[in-house]
A and B are shown apart, each in its own frame.
Chain A
Amino acid sequence: DAKTTQPNSMESNEEEPVHLPCNHSTISGTDYIHWYRQLPSQGPEYVIHGLTSNVNNRMASLAIAEDRKSSTLILHRATLRDAAVYYCILRDFDSNYQLIWGAGTKLIIKP
């Protein structure tokens, strides 16, 4: 699986949008971009994933650059509950097992 690079931490104010960046310059054409988050003392939680087109779901939006070398997870209106470590992970289309986890971005939400 290709490597991703994320900032160690970010801060945002409550009820404001948050843009979490991820660089994956070595992405291949068949790599899916997955985002998970882990709240304190909980198991990881799936957020969103995509291949080429931007994606929206009830939790977030995923904006994928045209060259696919970077992506941005967008939380439209952050709440205190969104404080977590966010992981950006690439998974090859033919990869059939484990997610390879990096250090992620610790998101701090200020009330």
Chain B
Amino acid sequence: GAGVSQSPSNKVTEKGKDVELRCDPISGHTALYWYRQRLGQGLEFLIYFQGNSAPDKSGLPSDRFSAERTGESVSTLTIQRTQQEDSAVYLCASSYRDRAAYEQYFGPGTRLTVT
């Protein structure tokens, strides 16, 4: 079946502009996660959604970052007033349930470059 998809695959933006990144999870997956990966580094957790529960935003680095998810479908990650340090690959993952026994499936990521 279809995997996790993300768009755009690449985004180049000027410092100070807003960007919106999209994630389409696997159908039927109730949990959705956003991570950030800077060049040569590991993944950093940003935010997590589980069904209709309030999202866990504990990983968001600043109030310029926000995310929304409609039910158990698509999610958007918005970065306002982008800074050069926001340049990274933004990865989305979904999981059937949010429990430790379930694996996460990742999308290909959106490479964001802030100039």
Residues of A within 8 A of B (CB): 30-32, 34, 36, 42-46, 49, 51, 87, 91-104
Interchain residue pairs with CB less than 8 A apart (12): A30-B100, A42-B108, A43-B106, A44-B91, A46-B104, A49-B101, A93-B101, A97-B45, A97-B48, A99-B33, A101-B43, A104-B42
Which of under 10, 10 to 19, 20 to 34, or 35 or more describes the interface residues of B? 20 to 34
**Cβ of A96: which chain B residues have Cβ within 8 Å of it?**
31, 50, 98-100
Residues of B within 8 A of A (CB): 4, 31, 33, 35, 42-43, 45, 48, 50, 56, 59, 91, 93, 98-101, 103-109
How many Å lie between the Cα of A91 and that of B100 in the bound state?
Answer: 5
Known contacts A44-B104, A96-B100, A99-B43; can you find 7 more A-B pairs with CB under 8 A? A42-B108, A43-B106, A44-B106, A51-B101, A95-B99, A97-B50, A103-B42
How many Å lie between the Cα of A93 and that of B56 in the bound state?
Answer: 18
**Cβ of B108: which chain A residues have Cβ within 8 Å of it?**
42-43
Closest residue of chain A to B34 (Cβ to Cβ) is: A98
Residues of A contacting B: mostly: loop
**Cβ of B93: which chain A residues have Cβ within 8 Å of it?**
43-44
Say whether A46 contacts B103, CB under 8 Å. yes
How many Å lie between the Cα of A50 and that of B100 in the bound state?
Answer: 10
**Cβ of B35: which chain A residues have Cβ within 8 Å of it?**
98
How many Å lie between the Cα of A34 and that of B104 in the bound state?
Answer: 10
How many Å lie between the Cα of A94 and that of B31 in the bound state?
Answer: 14
How many Å lie between the Cα of A99 and that of B44 in the bound state?
Answer: 9
**Cβ of A34: which chain B residues have Cβ within 8 Å of it?**
103
Residue from the set B45, B59, B93, B103 with the largest chain A CB neighbour count within 10 Å: B103
**Cβ of B107: which chain A residues have Cβ within 8 Å of it?**
43
How many Å lie between the Cα of A87 and that of B4 in the bound state?
Answer: 20
How many Å lie between the Cα of A44 and that of B89 in the bound state?
Answer: 12
